[in-house]
């Protein structure tokens, strides 16, 4: 099969390396890919949002399958466009990807179908938001822009002033554009967070092994929220008992709710969960694989990923047994100094071999480019340094040993991934 993967980050690199293991895979293209991905796939210079360009490329090159990995092309209807052209695609259609791209939609869905989540109200008028927050007078309070905001549209306001600033930035200054036309004001929940990705064809749902993201920029969960600074799998807080509760109260009801709404979800559904004192609750849904969750989950997958993708597309997921390795995995993200705010690009990376890899670990390239045989930094998150081990500690030790051999100017990484248990 000829497979085209849309996207350019560490997640896409992890997906491509797993697809490469399949005997069914003959050729992989990435659009647009990156320097490290170019070692495993042929990168083509088409933007992830260019629907016409992607469809035309897939037709011209007789691509058998397109894997749409990032949120924005899914929300913009990339899968719909491919299907309309008769091309097989993995990922939800736009009418189902809305479960991620509109928080108002997902919150209303959960309320309507009794799926546990934080209490909330929706507003389209900044004055009414503040009147509501003042009447409740309970802090911290969580304020979320409705639409996609690169993972930065959630503000946890500790007091009235912070709430006022957040509402002004989102609704009046339009920091996230139209994503801030509506806001969700939410009750602040506490407890450990768990990421669970699941394959679903809209009939069966098969959860993958669990993982834990580390979203803050600095150690001890300090600093700004990022796309994710590292992950471990499994998540130590996700016991079999909790998994059973989640399946019954969250996972299956969500698939059924989307079907009832005429928005059947096919692809990878990501449950961002918090294990609160009142039980597991949904913090957010994503309509795609997580980044960097994928970097620790897919290396543990034993079943052929191409078989799973075909089963999802053909509504045959229930017939497939999906197997996982028992070995834990850890991923440490090496980022450009300054990320998630401004940072410089173009620094040479040393410590990698000519394929952008390093013995003892698997290196997923998130933001690199290749120039005259040298890998250069080319993004906020640069590398996801990943390892597996007999125990989580062994996996972490291996990942950190590899991190220590890699250097670039102003490199920043967290030293406590997986250690805050």
Task: Please report, as ranges, the residues that interact with ligand AMP according to CB under 6 A.
Answer: 118, 142, 151, 154, 156, 186-189, 193, 215, 272, 283-284
Q: Which residue is nearest to ligand AMP (CB)?
A: 284
Residue 147 sits in the site that holds ligand GLY (CB under 6 A): no
Residue 290 site contact among ligand AMP, ligand GLY, none (CB < 5 to 8 Å, cut-off depends on kind):
ligand GLY
Report the residue number, 37 or 283, with the smaller CB distance to ligand AMP: 283
Nearest alpha carbon to residue 166 among 119, 225, 216, 219: 225
Among all chains, which residue has been given the structure tokens 């609704």? 171
- Maximum distance among all alpha carbons in the chain? 61
Task: Identify the burial level of 151 via C-beta atoms within 10 angstroms of its C-beta, where 0-12 means exposed, 13-18 middle and 19 or more buried.
Answer: middle
Closer residue to ligand GLY (CB): 33 or 228: 228
Name the CA radius of gyration of the chain, rounded.
Answer: 21
What's the CA dihedral at 93, 301, 23, 46 to 10 degrees?
A: 40
Beta bridge partners of 117: 282
Residue closer to ligand GLY (CB basis): 201 or 291? 291
Q: Is 40 in the site for ligand GLY (CB under 6 A)?
A: no
Q: Which does 154 bind (CB under 5 to 8 A by kind): ligand GLY, ligand AMP, none?
A: ligand AMP
> Smallest distance, Å, CB 227 to ligand GLY?
6
Q: Which is nearer to ligand AMP, 142 or 376 (CB)?
A: 142
Residue with tokens 């920091």: 175
CB 395 within 8 A of CB 327: yes
Work out which of 33, 92, 116, 228 binds ligand GLY, going by CB under 6 A: 228
Q: How far is the CB of 371 from ligand GLY (least distance, A)?
A: 28
Which of ligand GLY, ligand AMP, none interacts with 286 (beta carbon under 5 to 8 A by kind)?
ligand GLY
Q: Which is nearer to ligand AMP, 27 or 152 (CB)?
A: 152
192 binds, among ligand AMP, ligand GLY, none (CB under 5 to 8 A by kind): none
CA distances from 200 to 241, 270, 281, 350 (A): 22, 10, 20, 40
53 binds, among ligand GLY, ligand AMP, none (CB under 5 to 8 A by kind): none
d(CA 338, CA 33): 23
Tokens of 399: 């990942």
Contacts of 173 (CB under 8 A, 6+ apart): none
Nearest-CA neighbor of 11 among 358, 379, 282, 351? Answer: 379
The reply to whether 213 sits near ligand GLY by the rule CB under 6 A is yes
Two structure tokens written together for 256: 């059924």
Q: Cβ closer to ligand AMP: 108 or 357?
A: 108
Give the residue with the Cβ less far from ligand AMP, 77 or 140: 140
Assess 362 for contact with ligand GLY (CB under 6 A).
no
188 binds, among ligand AMP, ligand GLY, none (CB under 5 to 8 A by kind): ligand AMP
Which residues make Cβ contacts (< 8 Å) with residue 225, sequence separation at least 6? 151, 152, 154, 215, 216, 217, 340
Give residues 279-338 in contact with ligand GLY (rule: CB under 6 A).
286, 290-291, 293
Cα–Cα distance list, 357 to 28, 75, 190, 217, 230 (Å): 19, 33, 39, 25, 18
Q: Which is nearer to ligand AMP, 43 or 170 (CB)?
A: 170
Cα–Cα distance list, 22 to 25, 124, 256 (Å): 5, 48, 31
If the CB atoms of residues 36 and 340 are measured against ligand AMP, the closer one turns out to be: 340
Among ligand GLY, ligand AMP, none, residue 293 binds (CB under 5-8 Å by kind):
ligand GLY
Query: Where on the chain is the footprint of ligand GLY (CB under 6 A)?
Result: 151, 213, 227-228, 286, 290-291, 293
């Amino acid at each position: 099969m000829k497979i085209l993967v849309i996207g350019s980050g560490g997640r896409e690199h992890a997906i491509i390396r797993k697809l490469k293991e399949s005997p069914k895979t003959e050729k992989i293209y990435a659009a647009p890919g990156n320097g490290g991905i170019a070692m495993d796939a042929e990168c083509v210079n088409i933007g992830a949002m260019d629907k016409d360009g992607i469809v035309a490329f897939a037709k011209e090159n007789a691509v058998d399958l397109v894997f749409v990995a990032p949120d924005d092309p899914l929300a913009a209807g990339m899968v719909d466009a491919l299907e309309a052209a008769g091309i097989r695609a993995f990922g939800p259609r736009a009418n189902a990807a809305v479960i991620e791209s509109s928080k108002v939609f997902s919150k209303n869905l959960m309320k309507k179908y009794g799926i546990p989540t934080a209490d909330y109200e929706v507003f389209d008028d900044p004055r009414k938001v503040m009147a509501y927050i003042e009447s409740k007078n309970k802090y911290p309070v969580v304020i979320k822009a409705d639409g996609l905001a690169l993972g930065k549209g959630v503000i946890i306001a500790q007091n009235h002033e912070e709430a006022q600033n957040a509402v002004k930035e989102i609704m009046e200054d339009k920091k996230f554009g139209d994503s801030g036309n509506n806001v969700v004001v939410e009750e602040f929940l506490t407890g450990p967070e768990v990421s669970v990705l699941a394959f679903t064809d809209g009939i069966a749902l098969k959860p993958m092994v669990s993982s834990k993201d580390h979203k803050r920029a600095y150690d001890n969960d300090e600093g700004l929220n990022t796309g994710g600074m590292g992950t471990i799998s499994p998540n130590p807080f996700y016991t079999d008992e909790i998994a059973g509760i989640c399946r019954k109260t969250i996972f299956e009801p969500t698939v059924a709710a989307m079907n009832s709404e005429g928005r059947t979800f096919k692809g990878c559904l990501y449950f961002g969960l918090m294990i609160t004192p009142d039980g597991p609750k949904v913090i957010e849904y994503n309509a795609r694989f997580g980044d960097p969750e994928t970097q620790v989950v897919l290396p543990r997958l034993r079943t052929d990923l191409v078989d799973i993708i075909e089963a999802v597309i053909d509504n045959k997921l229930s017939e497939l047994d999906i197997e996982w390795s028992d070995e834990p995995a850890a991923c440490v993200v090496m980022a450009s100094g300054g990320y998630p705010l401004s940072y410089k690009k173009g620094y040479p990376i040393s410590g990698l071999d000519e394929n952008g890899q390093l013995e003892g670990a698997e290196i997923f390239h998130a933001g690199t480019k290749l120039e005259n045989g040298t890998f250069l930094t080319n993004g906020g998150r640069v590398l996801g340094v990943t390892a597996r081990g007999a125990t989580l500690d062994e996996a972490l030790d291996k990942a950190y040993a590899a991190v220590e051999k890699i250097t670039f100017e102003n490199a920043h990484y967290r030293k406590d991934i997986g250690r805050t248990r």
